[in-house]
Each structure stands twice: as structure tokens, then as C-alpha cells.
A and B are shown apart, each in its own frame.
Chain A
Amino acid sequence: MAAVTTAARTRRKRNGSRSRETRAAYGFIGVWIIGFLVFTLGPMIASLVLSFTDYNAISSPRNVGWDNYRQMMSDPKVAKALGNTLVYAVMYVPTAMAVALCLAMILNRVGRASGFFRTVFYLPVMTPPVAAGALFLLLLNGNQGLLNRTLHLVGINGPNWTTDTAWVKPGLAITMLWGVGGMVVIYLAALRQVPKDLYEAAALDGAGAWMRFRRITLPMISGALFFTLIVQTIYALQMFDQAYTMFFGGQENSTYSNDAALFYVIYLFQQGFGFLHMGYASALAWLLFVVIMIITAIQVRVSRRFVYYEGERD
């Protein structure tokens, strides 16, 4: 008898407390939900609607149907901007990951000393992108910059990193490589999680260094690799701060444009806020969104086969 009533009371209490818990939960989460509606979902939908208009924020919007999208298809600057951005991403992301992984692996070998060096590598990450852009604009100067002077010492005639269209993106990649410290920290943490006995056993089995790297290190840190791949690609596809600082903005720079540095978000910014072509810029924004989604989806799909989670063994 008592058990039944207790059970019933518990059930009732559980149901009542369940809905109270739900209400409380939504009370906590509601903050984010409001923000999501106002600043994410709303704008995404508004952006879609705007992309079908011609709007300059001074007068009212004017419906133009698919004109913006048609213009996007035939605008050579869009192709250029998209191309630049993709080329840069392909150039930068694998290089950065490789460099960061190398540094992390070396750091993993030096024990306590790694703390000091890790700080050294991370420090540039604290530099504001605008300051870094300004600094490297000077360092990469084709004539007198530090990089080319150093290359000259070993007999190499460095290219004009800041003016030669073929070398602008590599120059930018060098600028960004200065900031791989963040990835180094992540990889180092991941490397330290790898059980040492795995290496021992493999070594005892006669596995060479490369084999151990491929069969043990890579799979065991694949989670971190996957994470940084996705994040860095998304960042690379939205490159703005450094490129804008170094190559755009200001009146003089408006005379010397360098198409090689026209990244997608920069073009979007110019169209939306420099010319107030807000409808067109919204169409551009959606194209970027679609491109990023596709690339991320591909990356996730492909990486799924390679990413190895600790708990999924055996």
C-alpha cells in the first residue's frame, strides 16, 4: 500500500518536477535563444530576403528578383575573390597544421623545458591582427624588408611579397604562420595524452619512427587534428583583418588595388559598406555561407573515416 502511494507520489512528483525542471532550464537557456532569434536566425532570413533587393540603407529597398544572383555569376570580381580565398585556404591550412605538429612533436621531447618554448610560440598569438599586419607589411617589403634581406644573405633573391600578385598570398600565409602557437598548444596537449606504452610496444615489435608516427601518433591525435582542420579552414575562408590592414582601406590604397589580395569577405565588406550595395552584399554573404557549409561537410565526411576516438577501440 505504502509502496504504491509512494510510487504514485514519486511519479507525480517526478512529472511535476520534470516540467518545473524544464521550465527552469528554459529560463536559463532562454537568454541564448533570444539572442539566437534576434542576432542569428532573424538576420539569416533577413539576409536572404535582402539578397533579392537593391538596398542602400539611405532610401527604401527595391525588389529586383534574381538580379543580384545573376550579377554574382557574371561578376569577375566574385570569381576572383572566391578563387583567392580558396587558394589561400589550401595554401595555408595544411602548412600551418604541419608546422604546428612538428613544433608540438619536438616540444613533446624536451620535458619540462617545453613550457618556456611553448610560451614563446604562443606569444605572437596575442598580437592584435592589425598590429601583426602592419608589422609584416614592413618585414615583407620587397626591397628592404627583413625577410628578403635575410634571404639575400643566403643568395636568394626574394620576391616582392607585398606587390607581386603571385607572392601576395604566400606572404600573407607567412604572416599567419607566425600565429600557429595556438595549434601548437592544442597538439601538444593531444600528444601528451597518447599512452607511452603504445610506442614502446610498437618499438619492441620493430616499428620504425615513421611507422609509429603513422600508426600511433596520427590516429591518437586525430581528434585534435580534425578539430583544428575544421576551425582553421573556416577562419581561412573568412580572412579579413590582416589582408585588409595590409592591402586595403585608406585613400591612397584605393589607387593601388591588388586583386591578388581581394579576399571574399573583403569584397563583401566593400560592396556592403563601401558602396552600400546591401542587397548584393547579402547575396554574396549567402554564397559564402553555402561554400563554407559544403567544404565543412566534405571535411567532416572525409575525416570521419580517419578520426579515432579513444573509447571506440576494440
Chain B
Amino acid sequence: MATSPTGLTATPAVEEPARRKGRRKADRQGRTTPPGTGRQDHQPIWRRAPYLVALALASVLFTYPFLWLISASFKPRTDVFDNALIPHRWRVANLADVWHYGQMVNWLVNSAVVGIAAATTVTISSAVVAFGFAYFRFPGRNVLFGLVLATMMLPQAVTMIPVYLIWNKIGLTGTQVPLWAQNIFGSAFYIFLLRQFFLSLPRELFEAARVDGCGFFGLFWRIALPLARPALAIVFIFEIQASWNDLLKPLIYLQNTSLFTMPRGLKSIIDTFGNGGEHHWEIISAASLIATIPMIVIFAFAQRHIIDGIATTGRKG
């Protein structure tokens, strides 16, 4: 199969060459095992230990901020900076009080509603467009798709102001509609992702359906779409996350506090009660925690999809 740059073909090593010493040089087996498993698992644990230790240390670094946040949410204000992992004095009331510092319930609901609206529209529309690019052969296809890719790299700031003015003219600034309505027309990144997927579907499926008299839309609706469920799920979840995290659009379009999304609301809490206010760091921590938990929950349920989705973008990029 593959020839190495030095021209030698691979021969599976039978046993660990004696001169290989030290952490960097693991021994080699054949390639038949699936990636990421097998080969390393056959190694004795003490070989893998240094890497595991390094990973454990890194994990502490990455996880500690979360733990700090959780613990700060339960501390009284003056204890927040004592940096103790377990609070010396527990103030569970924070979790109850925080709901009074801002319309947190409204904000969570708003984020959910906007997120679902954004994800639903973008998934359907991107799938439609992606199918168009994947299945059909037509003049201008490559040029247009290149255009789609180009828009992926367009900085949002460039169109931000005129788009705002458009919504202004229509009279929808101040509502939540501009936060998601653009998704009705698809989004370049998801079009790219879904097109990759549709391209991988065997053409015979479609040919067979055409012979049976299926219309083009039927091909999409009845064949491609059901098969695309995993990819659609990835798109849906990504967009919920992107919409939940967005700060710029809510900043620009929302003025009525009760319409805020969670990050926008969180920012207003930070402004009112943080440095400029009464330094209510424990409330800010609690609110940040509440803003993050839904995303963690989504991750817990959809981890497989999310990781696969990210990995795919890198591979095909």
C-alpha cells in the first residue's frame, strides 16, 4: 500500500527493537487496527504513563476554571477571591437570588427559542442548498460553490451595518427576528458540511428513484434527507451553540431587556453588578454558570455528534 518516503515498504515489526529507548519512541505494529486504539493499548501501561500524566496535568488546567466557577457561585461575595475550591462558607442562596438580578428565566427561554428557530431554519435551508450543489450538474456550479466558500471567510463586521439598516427599514430592529431570520437562506459553513455528506451518498440510490419517477424534490426529501440525519443533527447542534453564544447580534438588535438572550443578559448583569456596580462577583459567577449549563447538557447528550462534526471540518478543510 503506502510507500514511505525512503522507499522501503513497511514490514511489521515483530518485537520491540532494543535500541528504542525513552518516551518518544514507541514501538510499531501493523496498521490493521483502527486509529487511536489497539496499537497503543497493547503497550504496557508504564510506557503510556508519562503521556497519561501529562494529560492528567493538562486536564487539571482545563477543568479548574469550571470548578472555580461552580465554587464561586456558592460563596458569599467577600469570599469569592479566597480561591478555595470548597467554599468555607456556603451561600446556596446565591443560586436563588441570581434569578432576581435580571430576568434570567426570560433570557434562558429567549435563547432557547431563538436557538431553535435559528437551528431549524439553517438546517433545512442549508440542506436544500447543499443538495443542489451535490446532486445536480449544471453550468456555473463550481463558480457558485466557490462563491459560497468565499462568503465563509467574510468578516461579519463588513455587512453588519447595512444589514442592520435593512432590518431597520423593515421595522424589525428591537425584535428577535434579525437574530435568526438570515438563516432562512442557508449558511455557507453548513452548506459545505452537508454537501460533503450528500456527495458521499451513492448515486445509484438516486438513479433508481429517478427511474421510479421520483421528482427532484422527492429525491431530496425522501432519500437524501432521511439518510442525512447524523449530519443534520450535527448542523442543528452547532447552530444552537452558535446562536446561544452570539453577543454581537443581540447587542445591536435588542433594546427591550425582557427580549435579551442569555449572553446579552449576562453582559448586562456584569455591567450593572460588576466593576461598575456593587462588585457582586458571586452573582456574576452564578449567572455565568447558569448561562453555561445548558451548553454542557447539550454536550453531554450530543458529544459524539459534536466531536465528529468538528473532526470532519478539519479533515475536509
Query: What is A's interface to B at a CB cutoff of 8 Å?
Result: 18, 21-22, 24-29, 31-36, 38-40, 42-44, 46-47, 50, 57, 103, 106-114, 117-124, 126-131, 134-139, 141, 144-146, 149, 178, 181-182, 185-190, 192-193, 195-205, 209, 215-216, 223-224, 226-228, 230-231, 234, 237-238, 240-241, 244-245, 249-253, 256, 264-265, 268-269, 272-273, 278, 281-282, 285-286, 288-289, 292, 296
Contact = CB atoms under 8 A, between A and B. Distances in A.
B147 interface: yes
Interface string B178-194: 00001011100001000
Contact of B148 (A32, A34, A108, A135): A32
A281 to B, nearest CB: 6
A278 B62 CA distance: 41
Contacts of B254: none
A310 B216 CA distance: 35
A50 B158 CA distance: 12
Contacts of B30: 196-197
B216 A253 contact: no
Contact of A129 (B155, B163, B245): B245
Given A35-B185, A40-B159, A202-B5, A253 B271 contact: yes
A223 B317 contact: yes
Contacts of B241: 126
List 7 A-B pairs, minimum CB-CB distance, nearest first. Answer: A35-B185, A252-B276, A250-B271, A28-B132, A186-B314, A197-B10, A227-B317
A122 to B, nearest CB: 7
15 contacts: A26-B138, A38-B166, A39-B182, A43-B158, A106-B54, A117-B55, A119-B303, A121-B62, A136-B65, A149-B83, A230-B153, A234-B155, A278-B165, A285-B158, A288-B155
B285 interface: yes
B270 A134 contact: yes
Contact of A22 (B52, B81, B138): B138
A234 B55 CA distance: 29
A113 B28 CA distance: 19
Given A40-B151, A203-B25, A251-B271, A31 B129 contact: yes
Given A124-B66, A128-B245, A234-B153, 6 more contacts: A122-B299, A126-B299, A128-B295, A137-B274, A249-B267, A285-B158
A34 B125 CA distance: 12
A192 B159 contact: no
Which secondary structure dominates chain A's binding surface? helix
Nearest to A114: B36
A138 B72 contact: yes
Nearest to B270: A134
Given A50-B161, A109-B26, A198 B247 contact: no
B183 to A, nearest CB: 9
Contacts of B9: 201
B2 A128 contact: no
B292 interface: yes
A205 B8 CA distance: 9
B203 interface: no
Contact of A192 (B28, B36, B264): B36
B161 A278 contact: yes
A38 B167 CA distance: 11
A193 to B, nearest CB: 7
B252 interface: yes
B161 A286 contact: no
Contacts of B51: 106, 109-110
A202 B160 CA distance: 52
B41 A128 contact: no
Contact of B35 (A33, A193, A223, A227): A193
Contacts of B252: 273
B160 A272 contact: yes
Given A128-B244, A138-B281, A146 B83 contact: yes
B284 A126 contact: no
B76 interface: no
Contacts of B147: 36
Interface stretch (B91-99, B226-234, B305-313): B305-313
Contacts of A282: 161-162
B161 A285 contact: yes
Nearest to B262: A128
A186 B68 contact: no
Contacts of B306: 122
Given A197-B10, A238-B156, A32 B266 contact: no
B129 to A, nearest CB: 4
Given A106-B54, A134-B288, A129 B166 contact: no
B132 A123 contact: no
A197 B154 contact: no
Contact of B128 (A28, A123, A138): A28
A261 to B, nearest CB: 14
Contacts of A273: 164, 251-252
A205 B25 contact: no
Interface string B275-286: 111000100110
A241 B38 CA distance: 42
Interface string B81-122: 101000000000000000000000000000000000000000
Nearest to B297: A126
A138 B303 CA distance: 29
Contacts of B157: 238, 264-265, 268, 285, 288-289
Contact of A269 (B11, B248, B296, B298): B248
